[in-house]
Amino acid sequence: MALFSSPCKPPIMCPKFHRIRAIQTPFSSKSSISKTSNLDAPRISISAPAKLINTPIQKAQFRSSLSSPAELDEGIPSSVIIFVKGLSQSTSEGGLKAAFSQFGEVSRVKVITDKKTKQSLGFAYVWFTREEHARAALEEMNGKFFEGRFLYVSIAKPGSCKSRPKPTPYKF
């Protein structure tokens, strides 16, 4: 039994064209990089000829106005995000903030909940304003017994606390 059968015609085959010949064809682009009087701003060309004659090449400098990956996620000023797993369903954001505030300033706490039932899924993210406070909380709270359960605490992976769009269901 075939897993897939296409109602379309089979693809047209061209026996005289070989992959090797296509790769060996030399690149001959007529496009060129325009010389500008403003050499302070480096430019990047998407297509350029194989040989650049009499064109000065500069190192491109990239700058980011963001100071940490946390700003990409939530728009919060520079912070360190801690991932906390093993929470009971009764754990509140206020209780978690109180527990982690003993190590330093906590800017935000987010307990992840089920969208339908609104019950805790047993993990949360805690945003600290300083890295040394986050490290102290990590060392002290990892493996600690909290509200009837043992916690697993680690530094959150970049992008892990973003909300993800719901995938569209597959239609047959």
In this structure, is residue 171 part of a structural domain? no
Boundaries of domain holding 124: 69-149
- How far is residue 57's CA from residue 131's CA, in Å, rounded to a whole number? 39
Is residue 144 a part of any domain in this protein?
A: yes
pLDDT of residue 101: 93
CA 78/CA 63 separation, integer angstroms: 16
Task: Name the stretches of the chain with pLDDT < 70.
Answer: 1-78, 159-166, 172
- Which pLDDT does position 170 carry in this prediction? 76
Question: 117 φ, ψ to 5°?
Answer: -90, -15
Calculate ∠ Cα 145-149-153, nearest 5°.
70
- The answer to the question of residue 7 being in a domain is no
pTM for the predicted model, two decimal places? 0.50
| Residue 118 included in any domain | yes
Q: What is the pLDDT of residues 83-114, one digit of tens each?
A: 999 999 999 999 999 999 999 999 999 999 99
In a domain, 38, yes or no: no
Residue 131 belongs to a domain:
yes
Quote the CA–CA distance of 136 and 82 in Å, as a whole number: 11
- Please give the C-alpha separations between residue 102 and each of 78, 96, 133, in angstroms, as whole numbers: 20, 11, 9
Q: What pLDDT score was predicted for residue 79?
A: 81
| 78, 69 Cβ separation under 8 angstroms | no
Domain count, the chain: 1
The reported pLDDT for the residue numbered 163 is 59
> What is the predicted pLDDT for the residue at 63?
41
Query: Does the residue 126 lie in any domain?
Result: yes
Q: What is the CATH number of the domain that holds 75?
A: 3.30.70.330
Chain mean pLDDT for the chain: 69
